[in-house]
Amino acid sequence: MTLTVEQPLAIDIQDRVAVVTIDNPPVNALGLALRQALLETVARLDADARVDSVVLLCAGRTFIAGADVNEFGKPPAPPHLPDVVAAIEAARKPWVAAIHGSALGGGFEIALGCAFRVALASASVGLPEVTLGLVPGAGGTVRLPRLVPPAVAVEIVTGGKPVKAPKALELGLIDAVIEGDLRDGALAFAAGKRPVPAPLSARAPLPAEPGFWEAAEKSVARAARGAAAPGRALVCLKRAVEGDFADAMAFERETFLELRASPEAAALRHVFFAERAAARPASLKNVAPREIRRAAVVGGGTMGAGIAAALRDAGIPVTLVERDGEALDRGLANLRGIFDGAVRRGRLSEAAAAERTAGVAGATDYAALAEVDLVIEAVFEEISVKRAVFSALAAACRPDAILATNTSYLDPRAIAEGIAGPERFIGLHFFSPANVMKLLEIVPTPATSAETLATGFALAARLRKVPVRAGICDGFIGNRILKRYRAAAEDLLRRGATIEGIDAAMRGFGFAMGPFEAQDLGGLDIAFLQREGARARGEDVPATLGDILVRAGRKGQKTGGGWYDYAPGDRKPRPSETVAGLLAGEIGGGELPADIAGHLVGEMAAEGGAILAEGIAGQAADIDLVEIHGYGFPRHRGGPMFQTGGKG
């Protein structure tokens, strides 16, 4: 029999097991109505003599995926989640959480309140609160170390990464992986006569080895790069292991409420919503993207190989095109190198790498592209080379095949000039390494059709990238801001700041690297050649300090020195006497800002403001996404526009 308590859940009693099915689309988030309904359901089933045990199941695509994003940043309203979890834990009948999709944050905390947790192999569980600048707020940091050893709890809570069910079983986070139908499996599990364990709140925490917390503190701080939440989560876990349950619960809640109001949490919420909005542009709501069954990449260098790897990671068969057999062999070797590297680092199994490689075909003849749905060009950054490639592509490919360029600086309109079917042409600007970096700048020309644009966004989703629409200008959004940032950093050098001082300030702000170390890693020559090209075309490009270094043969780490010196085989930057000598004549002096990082972020935001005013970016939040996902801007700072109040 079925009896509806109240929307968002239904109860169905079968063979003395009550199946509570949450149905709160789209992701069964723990909004107020659901919290209330769960609380009432516990009491109701406790009192129901027909019920011995309870299965908690979710309808739709996932178990409870977490808090309700509509309640983000608002004061919490009762019943509070910790009370709901406590009620489930105190229920007189054992509850079994039956997990599919994701049990994240509050969803996993509910599952921790249940006597048992079972999950489909495809499901994942986790406590990602730190990625929103928070700590778990409903006992996650207190119950977890009573279920698994402190090292596991620290990894789950401070890392914030979801764990797949088989691994979760191994770690002791769940009790069983269900094969086949989840409901049937969970019902059988619930009906099985197994001893009901003591609730986690009544168990003793698993002890930590001596020295554990000191070591954890160091490694968590290193990984957090200035974000506060992971360290605060660690403090909660330590308190939970060392103190009593009620005290640790109160401490966790207090920390949670404090962090909710922090600038870090506000920044991370901003990024969260910006990412959601970017993935689904309102203007493309009613436009169906074209299906991509097979793609080609032209050019197998740094970018082409990376793009091909990204396509293969998403399961899309790829044809890699190079100019001759020798270049093709190199390109295919580049691609294999990416997969081999992933295997070496334990990120990919040998079998998966073989499968990735098997899905790649090589070609030197455009005739091989007659049936592809999408081509991405990544040949030399030379307008004549690119134009020749696109006229050949337009002739060889199906008239409806989408043709994309990965150009960094050239004008996509000029690249596409004269091709047949300009409505299928678009800029898809990837970032290096293209199979890793999340940003994809999507650059339509005035002729690009809505369908082609929608296909660009759909491709980004399939490649798990963050798409940002950019208008046409020199450098689009990201490289244009990068140019301003570097110029501003050089300006500080001219005013007497030091290279290492500026780099340290940006690292202190949360970047992995400062502007000068980053150039040494990537090479100073690419931007130099681009400036020289513009100068040759008669454009007015101011002389830079970087020009002086490149002309002196200092192109970065690969030449043993750039802004810094490097000992052979060592990536550690060392301040360089040579550079000091080369630049001595350029250093004037002048006033330096007290807050170097704040000044440089302000410069980025000022360029962002111009980009916005010109309509190159649609909204300030898009600029933040570009900086975070393409240029290493610390996520917990929300991006340059967020930092400066969006005004630039």
Q: Annotated active-site positions, please?
A: 109, 129
Please state, as a whole number, how many other Cβ atoms lie within 10 Å of the Cβ of residue 188.
15
CB of 459 to ligand NAI, least distance (A): 16
Strand partners, 359: none
Q: What amino acid is encoded at 61 in this protein?
A: R
CB of 392 to ligand NAI, least distance (A): 8
Q: What amino acid is encoded at 563 in this protein?
A: W
CB of 631 to ligand NAI, least distance (A): 12
CB of 541 to ligand NAI, least distance (A): 17
Longest dimension (CA), the chain: 89
Closer to ligand NAI by CB, 106 or 456: give it: 456
635 contacts 268 by C-beta, under 8 angstroms: yes
**What tokens does 578 get?**
């040579």
Closer to ligand NAI by CB, 168 or 303: give it: 303
CB of 333 to ligand NAI, least distance (A): 11
Alpha-carbon distance values, 570 to 426, 480, 498, 564, 567 (Å):
41, 31, 22, 12, 5
Helix (H) or strand (E) run with residue 174 in it: none
Closer to ligand NAI by CB, 323 or 495: give it: 323
CB of 455 to ligand NAI, least distance (A): 20
Closer to ligand NAI by CB, 149 or 301: give it: 301
Closer to ligand NAI by CB, 123 or 360: give it: 360
CB of 298 to ligand NAI, least distance (A): 5
Question: Cα angle vertex 363, ends 358, 365, to 5°?
Answer: 155
Helix (H) or strand (E) run with residue 22 in it: strand 17-22
Residue showing the smallest CB distance to ligand NAI in the complex: 301
Please state, as a whole number, how many other Cβ atoms lie within 10 Å of the Cβ of residue 506.
25
322 contacts 344 by C-beta, under 8 angstroms: no
CB of 120 to ligand NAI, least distance (A): 39
Q: What is the CA radius of gyration of the chain?
A: 28
Alpha-carbon distance values, 46 to 36, 89, 126 (Å):
16, 12, 28
Binding residues (CB under 6 A) for ligand NAI: these are: 298-304, 321-323, 327, 331, 378-381, 385, 389, 406-408, 430-432
Q: Cα–Cα distance between 563 and 92 in angstroms, integer?
A: 68
Closer to ligand NAI by CB, 255 or 408: give it: 408
Q: Cα–Cα distance between 367 and 373 in angstroms, integer?
A: 14
125 contacts 103 by C-beta, under 8 angstroms: yes
User: Is the four-CA dihedral 42, 44, 45, 49 of positive or negative sign?
Assistant: positive
427 contacts 441 by C-beta, under 8 angstroms: yes
Which of 302, 136, 305, 152 is CA-nearest to residue 232?
A: 136
CB of 337 to ligand NAI, least distance (A): 13
Closer to ligand NAI by CB, 251 or 431: give it: 431
Q: Cα–Cα distance between 211 and 307 in angstroms, integer?
A: 44
CB of 465 to ligand NAI, least distance (A): 13
Provide the residue count of the chain.
Answer: 648
Q: E strands, 496-647, where? A: 564-565, 574-575
Strand partners, 11: 3, 20
User: How many H helices and E strands in the chain?
Assistant: 26, 20
Q: 572-580 — which CB contacts under 8 Å span 24+ positions?
A: 573/500, 573/503, 573/516, 573/517, 573/520, 575/498, 575/499, 575/500, 578/552, 578/554, 579/499, 579/549, 579/554
CB of 353 to ligand NAI, least distance (A): 22
Closer to ligand NAI by CB, 273 or 380: give it: 380
CB of 323 to ligand NAI, least distance (A): 4
Q: Cα–Cα distance between 382 and 557 in angstroms, integer?
A: 25
Closer to ligand NAI by CB, 465 or 636: give it: 465
User: Is the four-CA dihedral 23, 24, 25, 26 of positive or negative sign?
Assistant: negative
Closer to ligand NAI by CB, 87 or 524: give it: 524
- Through-space distance between the first and last CA atoms of the chain, rounded to whole angstroms: 61
Q: Cα–Cα distance between 297 and 378 in angstroms, integer?
A: 7
281 contacts 625 by C-beta, under 8 angstroms: no
Closer to ligand NAI by CB, 213 or 431: give it: 431
Q: Cα–Cα distance between 321 and 299 in angstroms, integer?
A: 6
Closer to ligand NAI by CB, 301 or 602: give it: 301
Q: Cα–Cα distance between 342 and 145 in angstroms, integer?
A: 32
**What tokens does 502 get?**
């500026």
127 contacts 105 by C-beta, under 8 angstroms: yes
